[in-house]
Amino acid sequence: MEYWKIDKELIEHVCKIARLALSNEEKEKFVKELEDILSAFRKIDEVDTSDTRPSFHPLEFKNVMREDEPKVWKWQPLANARHKEKNYFKGPRIV
């Protein structure tokens, strides 16, 4: 596994996963740009984090939960939807 490197193939793979249609020019341009960025980022390998815990938030948050009380929102969920049918949202087909 090679880290801190990116090539066109990897970009194309990531774009499939992330559902991003890029033009060929964009892909070409991104190879160099993203390479440079990753080269700069690899600096973090210098930090010894062998016994460091990860920080998911900058301060500690814990045990935030809510009671099981139902509440109904009174609103128009479909107001922003262009594609809809009866009271359904309409979306693209699967296959």
Partner 1 sequence: MRAVIGLEIHVHMLSKSKLFCSCPTDYEGKEPNTLVCPICLGFPGSKPKVNKKVIENAILAARALNCKINPEIFFSRKSYFYPDMAKNYQISQYEIPLAENGYLEISSKKIRIKRIHIEEDPAKLIHVGGDITTSQYVLIDYNRAGIPLLEIVTEPDFSNTKEVREFLFKLSSILAHLEIFNPSKEASLRVDANISLDGGARTEIKNITGFANVQKALDYEIVRQANLIRLGQKVERETRHFDEERRVTVSLRKKEFEEDYGYIFDPDLTKIEITQKWIKSISMPELPDARVKRLIKKYGIPAEQANIIVYTDKALADFFENCAKIYADRKKLARWIVTDLLKCLNWNKITIRESKVKPKDFVQLLKMIDRKVISEALAKEIIKEYVPTGKSPAKIVKERKLVMIKDRRILEKIVKEILEKNKKAVADYRAGKEKALEFLVGQVLMKMEKRVDPKIVREIIKSLI
Partner 2 sequence: MIDLQKILEKAKAIQKEYSPFVTLPEKLEKPRSRGRLSGIMISVKDNICTKGLESTAGSQILRGYVPPFDATCIEKVKAEGGIILGKTAMDEFGFGSFCTNSFVIPKNPFDKERVCGGSSGGAGCITQLADFPHIAIAESTGGSISCPAAFCGVVGLTPTYGRVSRWGLIDYANSLDKIGVMAKNVRDAALLLSVIAGYDERDSTSLNVPQEDFTKYCKENFKMRVAVPKEYFTGIDEKIEKSVWQAIKKMESEGMRYQEISLPHTSYALPSYYLIAMAEASTNLAKFCGIRYGFQPELKGNFDEYFSEVRGKAFGQEAKRRIILGTYARMAGFRDAYYLKALKVRTKVIEDFKRVFKNFDVIVAPTMPILPPRFDEIAKLEPIEVYMMDILTVAPNLAGIPMISLPCGFVGKLPVGLHIMADHLQERNAIQAAYTYEAIK
Q: What secondary structure letter does DSSP report for 85?
A: E
Q: What secondary structure letter does DSSP report for 37?
A: H
Q: Out of 8, 9, 20, 88, which residue is the one contacting partner 2 (CB under 8 A)? A: 20
From residue 17, alpha-carbon distances to 5, 36, 66 in Å are 18, 22, 34
- Pick one of partner 2, partner 1, none as the site partner of residue 85 (Cβ within 5 to 8 A by kind): partner 1
Q: Out of 7, 9, 37, 88, which residue is the one contacting partner 2 (CB under 8 A)? A: 37
- Pick one of partner 2, partner 1, none as the site partner of residue 67 (Cβ within 5 to 8 A by kind): partner 1
CA quadruple 42, 46, 50, 53: dihedral positive or negative? negative
Residue 72 near partner 2 by CB under 8 A: no
From residue 69, alpha-carbon distances to 21, 33, 65, 73 in Å are 42, 50, 12, 13
Interacting residue ranges for partner 2, rule: CB under 8 A: 1, 3, 6, 10-11, 14-15, 17-23, 26, 30, 33-34, 36-47, 49, 52-59, 61, 64, 66, 75-77, 79-83, 89-95
